[in-house]
Chains A and B, each alone.
Chain A
């Protein structure tokens, strides 16, 4: 089966996957003075910016708002970063695509995994903030693993689709960048669900990014289980999306080397 083969190829080349992910992560800050420290500094500074804007200027009425916002922001950074980089994974692959033979799905997979590792590395900062603000960390935190698994699945499927689309239509990336901005603001990250008018709330669950944000907020901030029913449906949907993405990717990948 196509999906099976697609994933088996990834598994078979895990050494290459690891090497390229570490290239991505190490290469990003190599040559800068602070180096790998930026991996931690970047989310910290991001938090400071948002915290300043939304607790000093906009004044969202909520206890521990800065920490709450951080819980949804970090996974969003993973998600949007994966898609932004993933869309260009093939087109920026250069000679790796045109002159070397290996399963090309590795390139978008590397972008997603690198962004995910970055996300994991920023979690200690989140925990420090949770503790510092006196938000209890509960055993329900283990829900992180299934939530993150579905999140990766969904993100990888989208990254595959976008990387394929961008080979044939270079506008994809630019459209995506703007679309992500819109997506960010319709996702309850900067504001809690309670701020959304009652009649719109049901609609929110049609937005996968919202489901992920709410789930992370549940398990990090509110100390409760995420909505398993909705998450289960999303997992199923992600799998279907992945299957579609793989079919499309595998169909078009033989043209990649010629198109770039």
Chain B
């Protein structure tokens, strides 16, 4: 015996007319010209191409994928906002979508008025809103601000109120689009709590998210969309891992292409240019240029220089920053007392790190040539960026020491 599925999608195809995606609107002129344009079929962009889904009641499905892979379109089709071009879609029960928070909010109206307005838009009756009003206000944590016009709210308050109404609709099926990404830390905890509450209450949830850790935490099943088709589905850890590997590989390719263009894209650059840095490369052990490196693996930085004016013993330096701007490591040949010997007029200086023990994430590289007294001949800010991948996902911080865990029962010696 099997229960009916909460969400069932078979052979779903969605195409957008390409002109719809253009920012310039159709005008009478283009309308008049349209019959004369050829191959209009080629103007179709297939966003979803034969997607199947089957979600049992009470299950949580997460849809992951890169931007433009069709995730949000799929969610909008489930919500009934878009119509599929082919295929069957059925969603059983009352649906609430956390796609737009605070739909129809009027900035001049008080929070109270907007709760009623928004609730009505989401399909609640006045009686239902009245019954839940206290709960909604309390959950949003607005206190007496509920009587103030919404335009005076901070963006956090606005989102909290919208979220509070949406989750109080008491749906059977909840569609969530990146809601966890908005708001502050406390709010995302609240969202997580609420999602867990829904799960316990046996609601079906379908969420779209870029936050893979959150996905891992909530989802019973993950569907990975890639270019409008299901690339993989199934057990969260396995699908997420496969997805991560592909994304890392693509990032690397994009990074390498940028490098091969040969220009030095810096955020800022200063110095008199007595010694000039003409190229910077990030290399792996095989001497291949990369933009993605493994945590715990080697990293080689090479910079080509050119001496324009004779100078005394220049020092070459590097600095690594993480995406938050925190300096993770910095040093130069002078500090390291590395003797490179006499410098030819042109050459390449190489910084070789055998182990890159950084936490996975994005990093930025600064390089510089300075005088022995510390005056900058050439200083390049954010001349390259690279990603560190690998290790476990939940790492936090900057430094990832090589480590393992073990257990020793009481009384045994190490």
Residues in chain A within 8 A of chain B (CB atoms): 15-16, 19-20, 23, 26-27, 30-31, 95-96, 98-102, 168-171, 254-255, 257-259
Contact (Cβ within 8 A) B28 A169: yes
Within 8 A of A (CB), among B111-129: 116-117, 120-123, 125-126
Closest residue of B by beta carbon distance from A170: B25
Contact (Cβ within 8 A) B104 A168: no
Measured CA separation A102–B117 after assembly (Å)? 14
Measured CA separation A19–B122 after assembly (Å)? 12
> How close is A104's CB to chain B, nearest CB, in angstroms?
10
> How close is A151's CB to chain B, nearest CB, in angstroms?
27
Known contacts A23-B117, A169-B31, A257-B82: A100-B122 contact under CB 8 Å: yes
Q: What A residues does B123 contact at CB under 8 A?
A: 102
Measured CA separation A169–B32 after assembly (Å)? 11
Q: What B residues does A19 contact at CB under 8 A?
A: 116-117, 120-121
Q: Is B80 an interface residue (CB 8 A)?
A: yes
Q: What A residues does B181 contact at CB under 8 A?
A: none
Closest residue of A by beta carbon distance from B82: A257
> Is the interface on chain B under 10, 10 to 19, 20 to 34, or 35 or more residues?
20 to 34
> How close is B132's CB to chain A, nearest CB, in angstroms?
15
Q: Can you report 13 residue pairs joining A to B where beta carbons are below 8 Å apart?
A: A19-B116, A20-B104, A27-B109, A30-B106, A30-B109, A95-B103, A96-B104, A99-B81, A168-B26, A170-B26, A254-B83, A255-B20, A257-B82
Within 8 A of A (CB), among B274-300: none
Q: What A residues does B28 contact at CB under 8 A?
A: 169, 171
Contact (Cβ within 8 A) B121 A16: yes
Q: What B residues does A98 contact at CB under 8 A?
A: 81, 100
Contact (Cβ within 8 A) A95 B108: no
Q: Which 4 residue pairs are nearest across A and B when measured between Cβ atoms? A: A99-B100, A30-B108, A254-B83, A19-B120
* 18 new A-B contacts at CB < 8 Å, known A171-B28, A258-B17: A15-B125, A16-B120, A20-B117, A23-B104, A27-B108, A95-B100, A96-B104, A96-B121, A99-B81, A99-B97, A99-B103, A100-B81, A100-B121, A100-B122, A101-B97, A169-B26, A169-B27, A255-B20
Q: Is B13 an interface residue (CB 8 A)?
A: no
Q: Is B76 an interface residue (CB 8 A)?
A: yes
Contact (Cβ within 8 A) B83 A96: no
Q: Is B79 an interface residue (CB 8 A)?
A: yes
Closest residue of A by beta carbon distance from B125: A15
Which of A20, A96, A102 has the most chain B CB within a 10 Å cutoff? A102
Measured CA separation A134–B108 after assembly (Å)? 42
Q: Is B74 an interface residue (CB 8 A)?
A: no
Q: Is B399 an interface residue (CB 8 A)?
A: no
Q: What A residues does B83 contact at CB under 8 A?
A: 254
> How close is A42's CB to chain B, nearest CB, in angstroms?
18
> How close is B111's CB to chain A, nearest CB, in angstroms?
14
> How close is A9's CB to chain B, nearest CB, in angstroms?
13
The digit string for B136-148, where 1 denotes a CB below 8 A from any CB of A, is 0000000000000
A interface: dominant SS: helix
Measured CA separation A171–B31 after assembly (Å)? 11
Q: What A residues does B109 contact at CB under 8 A?
A: 23, 26-27, 30
> How close is B40's CB to chain A, nearest CB, in angstroms?
15
Within 8 A of A (CB), among B74-92: 76, 79-83
Q: What A residues does B120 contact at CB under 8 A?
A: 15-16, 19
Measured CA separation A20–B16 after assembly (Å)? 31
Which of A99, A102, A255 is in CB contact (< 8 Å) with B99? A99
Contact (Cβ within 8 A) B27 A170: yes
> How close is B95's CB to chain A, nearest CB, in angstroms?
8
Measured CA separation A95–B20 after assembly (Å)? 17
> How close is B302's CB to chain A, nearest CB, in angstroms?
49
Within 8 A of A (CB), among B150-188: none
Within 8 A of A (CB), among B364-410: none
Q: What B residues does A26 contact at CB under 8 A?
A: 109
Known contacts A15-B125, A19-B116, A19-B117: A101-B81 contact under CB 8 Å: yes
Q: What B residues does A96 contact at CB under 8 A?
A: 103-104, 121
Q: What A residues does B95 contact at CB under 8 A?
A: 101
Which of B27, B76, B97, B121 has the most chain A CB within a 10 Å cutoff? B121
Closest residue of B by beta carbon distance from A258: B20
Which of B31, B104, B123, B126 has the most chain A CB within a 10 Å cutoff? B104
> How close is A39's CB to chain B, nearest CB, in angstroms?
15
Closest residue of B by beta carbon distance from A168: B26
> How close is B79's CB to chain A, nearest CB, in angstroms?
6
> How close is B161's CB to chain A, nearest CB, in angstroms?
15
Within 8 A of A (CB), among B54-91: 76, 79-83
Contact (Cβ within 8 A) B108 A31: yes
Known contacts A27-B108, A169-B31: A100-B103 contact under CB 8 Å: yes
> How close is A89's CB to chain B, nearest CB, in angstroms?
13
Measured CA separation A171–B97 after assembly (Å)? 33
Measured CA separation A100–B104 after assembly (Å)? 10
Q: What B residues does A254 contact at CB under 8 A?
A: 82-83
Measured CA separation A19–B129 after assembly (Å)? 13
Contact (Cβ within 8 A) B103 A259: no
> How close is B190's CB to chain A, nearest CB, in angstroms?
22
Q: What B residues does A16 contact at CB under 8 A?
A: 120-121
Measured CA separation A258–B85 after assembly (Å)? 13
The digit string for B1-31, where 1 denotes a CB below 8 A from any CB of A, is 0000000000000001100100001111001
Measured CA separation A229–B82 after assembly (Å)? 45
> How close is A108's CB to chain B, nearest CB, in angstroms?
16
Contact (Cβ within 8 A) B117 A101: no
Q: What B residues does A95 contact at CB under 8 A?
A: 100, 103
> How close is B16's CB to chain A, nearest CB, in angstroms?
6
Closest residue of B by beta carbon distance from A100: B103
